[in-house]
Structure 1
Amino acid sequence: MMRPALVASLLALGGCGRAQPVSFQPPPGAPTGRETLHQPAKLTSVESDQKDALGRPLRVSCESCHSLRETKPMPSRPEELKEFHQGLRFRHGELACTSCHQAQQPRTLHLATGEPLPMTEVVTLCAQCHGPQYRDFKAGAHGGMTGYWDLSRGDRTRNNCVSCHDPHTPKYAGAHPVMPPRNPPAHGEPDTKEATGHE
C-alpha cells in the first residue's frame, strides 16, 4: 500500500517529470440551489391535429374533454376505447388500464394500495414497481438532469420517468446521437467545417 505523501507526490507530477500545480474544485458548501422535477406537458394535455404559428402541435388540456363527460367504467384494454385515446398502443407487462388509472377519476392515478395520486406525481407510481431504476434515479445514475450536481453552486432539474419513457409502452426505443462523432483534422490540415462553413 502506498503512503499518502507518495501518492500526493505522484499526483502532483505532470508531463516530463515536472511538478504541476494541482487545483481542485472547492468542497461543496451548504446546498442553496433547488432541485425540481421536470413536468412534461403530456402529463396534463394531449397533442391535437392542429398546429400553432410555429408549426408545433397544439396541446389540449385533459380537463377539456374529461370534465365534460360522465364517468364511465374504465376499459381493461386499449382495444375497448370507443371515445378517447383510440389507437393507443399498450405493452406494459400484464397490467390493465386500471392498474394505474382510477376507474372513477380518469385524470388521477392510484398506487397499489389504492391511494389516489395526481397525474403529476407519476414518478411515485413508477417507483413502486421499478425500485432499482428509482434508486438509480435518486442517485443521479438514471434519467438524466440539467443544472448542477453540487446544489451549493446552483439549481438542477431532474427528468421525469415520462420524459424518456411512454408509460403505456415504456421499453426505451433508444436514440441516435444528434451529431455523429467526427475525426479531428490532422495536425496542420485545415478544419473543413471552419474552412467551408459546413461539414
Structure 2
Amino acid sequence: MRSEPAVLHPVLIREPDGTPAVNSGMVDAQGKAVEIACVTCHATSTPNPQINRGDQLLKFHQGLHYAHGGLSCLSCHNASDYSSLHLADNRRIEFKDVMQLCGQCHGHQLESYKHGAHGGMNGHWDLTRGPRTRNTCTNCHDPHAPKFPLVQPIFPPRDRISVPLPEHPVQKTHELLPKNP
C-alpha cells in the first residue's frame, strides 16, 4: 500500500510594506497621517557619506537614534535612488529584501534564522499540520539601532528547584547521605 505524500503548508515571510516614508506630523481630511516619500527631499539634496548620526543633519531626521557600528547612512541606503537600498557590491535591492542586506554582515544570525533558531515565528513547526509565519530582521530590530533591548520577566519563573512544592520539602544534602554505623 502506497501512502500519500504529506501536504506541506506554506511558510509566509512578513516583508516590509513597500518603501518607507517619513511622518510629516500632519493629518489629511480623513485623519490619516500624511507621509512623505524619502525621494521627495533626497532628490534635491547632495548625499553626504560621512553622516551617521541624526544630530548631524540640518533639515530632517534630527531625532534619529543611530547606533549601528561605524556604518554611515549610505552604507545601506542607495544614494542614487532613495526608494531602494544597496548591497556591499552596490547592487540595488528593494526594501522588502532587507534580510539579504542585513545578512551580509550578520551571517551567523541569518544562518540561525534559516534553521528556525532566530527570528519570531507564529504557526506550526510541523508544516504538515499548518502554515507558519516568520518575521524579517526589521520586524524585530530597528535597522538604525538594531541591538534588541534587554528585558527581564516581570515575575521570575517558578520551577521545582527554586520554589519547592509544599508536598516535597527540600532536604539538605547532608540529610541525603547515608549515616555512618
Given the two structures, how large is their TM-score scaled by the length of structure 2?
Answer: 0.68
Indicate conservation of the 8 Å contact 1:165/1:171, yes or no.
yes
Counterpart CA distance in 2 for 1:149 and 1:128 is 27
Q: Which residue of 1 aligns with 2:144?
A: 168
Q: Which residue of 1 aligns with 2:81?
A: 105
Deviations 1:21-47 (CA, angstroms, capped at 9, x unpaired):
xxxxxxx9231x111212356962445
Counterpart CA distance in 2 for 1:137 and 1:161 is 9
Q: Which has the higher contact order (CA 8 A, sep 6+)?
A: 2
Segments of 5+ residues of structure 2 without an aligned counterpart are 160-164, 167-181
User: What does 1:1-199 align with in structure 2 at a 5 Å threshold?
Assistant: 29-31=6-8, 33-40=9-16, 44-46=20-22, 49=25, 60-63=34-37, 66-67=39-40, 70-75=43-48, 76-77=50-51, 78=53, 79-177=55-153, 180=155
TM-superposed deviation, 1:172: 1.4
Which amino acid is the alignment partner of residue 121 of structure 1?
Answer: D
Q: Which has the higher helix share?
A: 1
Identity of aligned residues (%): 40
Q: Secondary structure at the match of 1:157?
A: strand
TM-superposed deviation, 1:160: 1.5
Counterpart CA distance in 2 for 1:46 and 1:180 is 38
TM-superposed deviation, 1:71: 3.6
Q: Which residue of 1 aligns with 2:169?
A: none
TM-superposed deviation, 1:168: 0.9
Segments of 5+ residues of structure 1 without an aligned counterpart are 1-27, 52-57, 188-199
Indicate conservation of the 8 Å contact 2:86/2:101, yes or no.
yes
Q: Secondary structure at the match of 1:37?
A: strand
Given the two structures, how large is their TM-score scaled by the length of structure 1?
Answer: 0.63
Q: 1:93 to 1:68 in 2, by over 3 A?
A: closer
